[in-house]
Amino acid sequence: MSHPSSQLRAALHAVGCKLNQYENQVWAQAFRALGYQIVPFDSEADVYVLNTCAVTSRTDRECRRLARSARRRNPQALIVLTGCYVDVDSEALVEAGLADLLLPRAEKPLLVARVDARIRGTGVSPSALPLLEEFTGHTRAFLKVQEGCAGGCTYCVIPRARGPESSVPSQLVIEQARLLARRHPELVLIGTHLGRYGRDLPGETTLAGLVERLTALPELGRLRLSSLEPLEVTPELIALLAAGKLCRHLHLPLQSGCDSVLARMNRPYDTAAYAELLAELERRVPGVCLGADVMVGFPGETETEFAQTLAFLERVPLAHLHVFTYSPRPGTAAAQMPGQLAGHLKKERNHVLRALAERKRQAFAATQVGKRLQVVLETHAATGEVYGLSDNYLEVALDGAVGGRCLTLAEITRAEGDRLHGRLVPADLPGAM
């Protein structure tokens, strides 16, 4: 397979987590440096790179669908699969004939070099990937600081897919943050197990210490944390939130509001500890948006256990719920547990929690009317509408807003469902930025 450089087109797509999106941005930058044109995944290309996810059976199906669609679009193209699905079940992908090249986790740093060698018919010339200059197509940029998980949740394949814990050295994080902050008013720290940042590094490096260094950078607009395990929200992190050094938003995976289900999941906390954490955060950080992942249909989940989860969610101050349905993952303990629930029952419970999630998000949005919120101006790709994303993770429709990629202040005038409406605060008014 050999083509003139001027004709080379690469299409990349990430299924699943923020880490996959970050990796795709790094690879796209490297492909551009080699003369490739980056094109949408649904257009014709010479190479398709699909960064896969294996967190549920639904994401498995989506990855297979995308690989087949790429093959139909250009039967002569090089189809490359990498990501968690490859590490968890590569045999199934080989048997299905969905890819020309499968790259497991250990070979991700070589992806661009391997692909370019295959396309041009040359030898592989690997080189270190440079720092990411821009998170193309996004106002906010993800910043990877950690990868890997040593957890033992009985339903999860991620420790096998992402491997052991590995933190990015703090100085390298600082350098990457400086570069991205030039073009992006908000950075989001991401990792497989973000709260364990620094545990594998020498010295006393912690996530809170890294945040202190990052928020001291003059280039940085604002900083947000992605998902954090509940027991890893330390007093130091709470103090940073309370001091306004982080966006008032935390996503704290819950998985179940029933202690017996949490025990079967091998989650390292109970509902009392989780509720106590939420109460402290709400007390210390006024206006904080607290979110959670919640799983329905875990093996053996009885009507009583589901009712306990529903009652727990109704009474705790969670503003955002990501509800998903349990599906057996290969090689996990939960897949072998008795009491696997019928699909229709899991679907019913999913609908119940999604309805609750909508009510809770709307109720939280209503509490922000009359307040002034710091927002990042963004532009909807489909409509061209400029809107704001608040530091506490609410979308704000803004009267008369133009442009984007900047931090400003908005006064909230009303709420419609879970969406706020407001107006920009003139720069010469008190409290404006």
Cβ neighbors of 245 (< 8 A, separation 6 or more) are 211, 212, 215, 223
Phi and psi at residue 91, in whole multiples of 5°? -60, -40
The answer to whether 221 and 407 are in contact (CB under 8 A) is yes
CATH fit for domain 259-264+284-367, picks 3.30.750.200, 3.40.50.300, 3.90.730.10, 3.40.30.10: 3.30.750.200
Q: Does domain 372-424 have CATH number 2.40.50?
A: yes
Output the pLDDT for position 384.
Answer: 67
Domain with CATH 3.30.750.210 in the chain: 133-247
Output the pLDDT for position 96.
Answer: 82
Using alpha carbons, list the distances in angstroms from residue 406 to 141, 143, 323, 387.
13, 18, 32, 11
The answer to whether 30 and 112 are in contact (CB under 8 A) is yes
Q: How far is CA 29 from its chain centroid?
A: 20
Q: Give me the residue label for tokens 């061209």.
A: 384
CATH number for the segment(s) 133-247: 3.30.750.210
| Secondary structure percentages of the chain, helix, strand, coil, to 5 | 40, 20, 40
Output the pLDDT for position 221.
Answer: 95
Q: Give me the residue label for tokens 């999860």.
A: 156
Domain with CATH 3.40.50.12160 in the chain: 5-120
Q: State which residues of the chain have pLDDT below 70.
A: 1-6, 123-127, 381-382, 384, 401-404, 427-433
CATH number for the segment(s) 5-120: 3.40.50.12160
Q: What is the per-residue pLDDT across 32-71, written as a single tens digit (0 to 9) for each?
A: 999 999 999 999 999 999 999 988 888 989 999 999 999 9
Output the pLDDT for position 386.
Answer: 80
Domain with CATH 2.40.50 in the chain: 372-424
E strand or H helix at 14, and its extent? strand 9-14
Strands (E), 226-288: 249-251
Domain with CATH 3.30.750.200 in the chain: 259-264+284-367
Give the Cα separation of 379 and 405 in Å (integer). Answer: 9
Output the pLDDT for position 223.
Answer: 98
